[in-house]
Amino acid sequence: MSFHVIQQAPARLNRSELAVPGSAPQMFEKAAESEADVIFLDLEDAVAPDDKAQARKNIIKALNEIDWGKKTMSVRINGLDTHYMYRDVVDVVEQAGERLDVIMIPKVGTAADVYAVDMMVTQIEDAKGYKKRIGFEHIIETALGMQNVSDIAAASKRNESLHFGVADYAASTRARTTIIGGVNPDYSVLTDPLDDGSRAVHWGDMWHYALARMVVAARANGLRPIDGPFGDFSDPDGYKAAARRAAVLGCEGKWAIHPSQIALANEVMSPSEAEVTKAQRILKAMEEAAAAGKGAVSLDGRLIDYASIRQAEVLVEKARQISGA
């Protein structure tokens, strides 16, 4: 362990994050009643240029008037390369900052981008006398953003999470994709022939490097890594497979671009009862080991040590958060 202690972002459940276009107010009530942990009301790519101003008004009204319960509320502002962004920040934070928990910044490319938004939000919060500090969620979705992901992750105390925006990332890196967040059969290996001449094709995950890189930057800075969209909402199995592989790498949640994906994300991103029971047994066994002056013991024929305690504690804490949700 380094001498440097990693400050963790405020603990929030972020298993599912529902995207709702700001230009579709008829969807807001249903979203508020959903089981999503986080909702982001979108001003960016789901909203056409002519609808941006009205979408802003819809979002401000909805944040102030709808009962969103305990949900974490986010607004995805437009990118810093557009002229919409400054008014998104000024209008939404000035007029609805009390109910806004986090701002989602798309296409963030450098630490200076984060600084710029931080400066604006700080001035507005101070001027309005808000007590609560608004957090930041960053979408890592460009080659530049991925190159600078560590600096971005460390750029502000407001930072809470990093999100892998696979659709724009594919566009930015010119990756060959079929569906958003899905697999491509061309990203595969052909095994050498066996004695009988047979060969097999093993599909790989073309997003592995990007997702793993982002997870490391997030965790090294105490932030939540979140996997982004899966475009084919008529393929729940494909969605769950994508969510599971993200969870295996350390992601805490995944976007839902359709309400049907919320339950899938919540299911995959919640520890199972068996996992929680096992974690509790590990903690108990290690407590007994410590009392007996031992640092490592075996449980069910496997070695457990202090690293097992840390993993088990994370799991038990997550289960506690979920049961209190």
Nearest 5°: phi and psi at 129? 75, 25
Q: How far is the CB of 177 from ligand GLV (least distance, A)?
A: 11
Contact 290, 297 (CB under 8 A): no
Which amino acid is it at 32? A
Residue 46 DSSP class: T
Residue 210 touches ligand GLV, criterion: CB under 6 A: no
Nearer to ligand GLV, 154 or 167 (CB): 167
Q: How far is the CB of 228 from ligand GLV (least distance, A)?
A: 5
CA distance 56 to 179: 29
166, interface contact from ligand GLV, Mg ion, none, CB < 5-8 Å by kind: ligand GLV
Lay out the site mask for ligand GLV across 232-271 (x = CB under 6 A, - = otherwise): ----------------------------------------
Nearer to Mg ion, 109 or 165 (CB): 165
CA distance 21 to 57: 12
Nearer to Mg ion, 28 or 255 (CB): 255
The residues with which 16 forms a beta bridge, in sequence order, are 254
Among 139, 206, 262, 268, binds ligand GLV (CB under 6 A): 139
Contact 279, 246 (CB under 8 A): no
Please choose, from the candidates 224, 70, 112, the residue with its C-alpha nearest in 3D space to the C-alpha of residue 159: 224
Q: How far is the CB of 316 from Mg ion (least distance, A)?
A: 35
Among 167, 212, 249, 299, binds ligand GLV (CB under 6 A): 167
Contact 107, 79 (CB under 8 A): yes
Judged by the rule CB under 5 A, the positions of this chain that interact with Mg ion are 141, 165, 168
Contact 238, 263 (CB under 8 A): no
Residue 118 touches ligand GLV, criterion: CB under 6 A: no
Give contact residues for ligand GLV (rule: CB under 6 A).
Answer: 106, 139, 141, 165-168, 228-229
